[in-house]
Amino acid sequence: MKDFCVADLNATVSLNGFPCKPVAEVTSDDFFFDGLSKEGNTDNPFGFAVAQGNVLSFPGLNTLGISMNRVDLAPRGINAPHSHPRATESIVVIKGKVLVGFVSTSNVYFYKVLTVGQMFVIPRGLIHFQYNVGHSKAILLTAFNSQLPGAVIVSRTLFASNPPIPNQILTKTFRVDDDVINSIKSKFA
Ligand code: GLV
Ligand code: MN
């Protein structure tokens, strides 16, 4: 119906998406995003950083059904297992050597070690990860067929929800004792 619909992030109506900024106010800057150009800070226990170019950071993506992230990984850094409920993800390595993998609903583990320029695809909703198996920093660009793919990070979802999932659910699920669950929870507190 329209060429574009740059999100008006401050509008107050409730929609599944964002209303459009008035066309007369749209400029070339609305179609430009510089947020993936800088190296992320991987100085954390995961050796990981992500910069997200989704509709919230880049309103020009509104209604267009796409978005992109930049992932930086230190050597042995991990983008921990997670899924995107609203998008398939394609991954291209632009620096380094990265093990990427996902597990299907039949519980089959699919994986590949990617080098520069190589691509892998993660079907919608499946749990996946990336791990830097090289000796230097790695950079990946990830592309999604959603303007806001969402991310369910398995460890954070199970061990750092608010309010917390009761220990008895987690001890039964993982068939371990309370102290194991408490120890994991303490690391994500
Ligand atoms: C990588 O898996 C990402 O979600 O950007
Ligand atoms: Mn992902």
Q: Which amino acid is at 34?
A: D
Q: How far apart are CA 148 and CA 59, in angstroms?
A: 11
Q: Which atom of ligand 1 is nearest to the CA of 129?
A: 2
Q: Which atom of ligand 1 is nearest to the CA of 69?
A: 5
Q: Which atom of ligand 1 is nearest to the CA of 128?
A: 2
In a domain, 186, yes or no: yes
pLDDT, one tens digit per residue, over 66-78 is 999 999 999 999 9
Q: State whether 126 and 165 are in the same domain.
A: no
pLDDT, one tens digit per residue, over 24-65 is 999 999 999 999 999 999 999 999 999 999 999 999 999 999
Query: Which residue's CA is the nearest one to ligand 1's atom 1?
Result: 142
Q: Which amino acid is at 103?
A: V
**Which-ligand-closest: CA of 93?**
1
**Number of folded domains in the chain?**
2
CB-based pocket (< 6 A), ligand 1: 50, 69, 71, 79, 89, 128, 130, 142
Q: How far apart are CA 146 and CA 51, in angstroms?
A: 16
Q: State whether 155 and 144 are in the same domain.
A: no
Q: State whether 142 and 160 are in the same domain.
A: no
Ordered strands of the 127-132 beta sheet: 109-114, 98-103, 127-132, 78-83, 152-153
pTM: 0.94
Q: Residue ranges for the binding site for oxalate?
A: 69, 79, 84, 89
Q: CATH number, domain at 136?
A: 2.60.120.10
Listed residues 119, 134, 149: the one ending a domain: 149
Query: Which residue's CA is the nearest one to ligand 1's atom 3?
Result: 142
Q: State whether 129 and 167 are in the same domain.
A: no
Q: Is the ipTM of this complex over 0.95?
A: yes
Q: State whether 121 and 78 are in the same domain.
A: yes
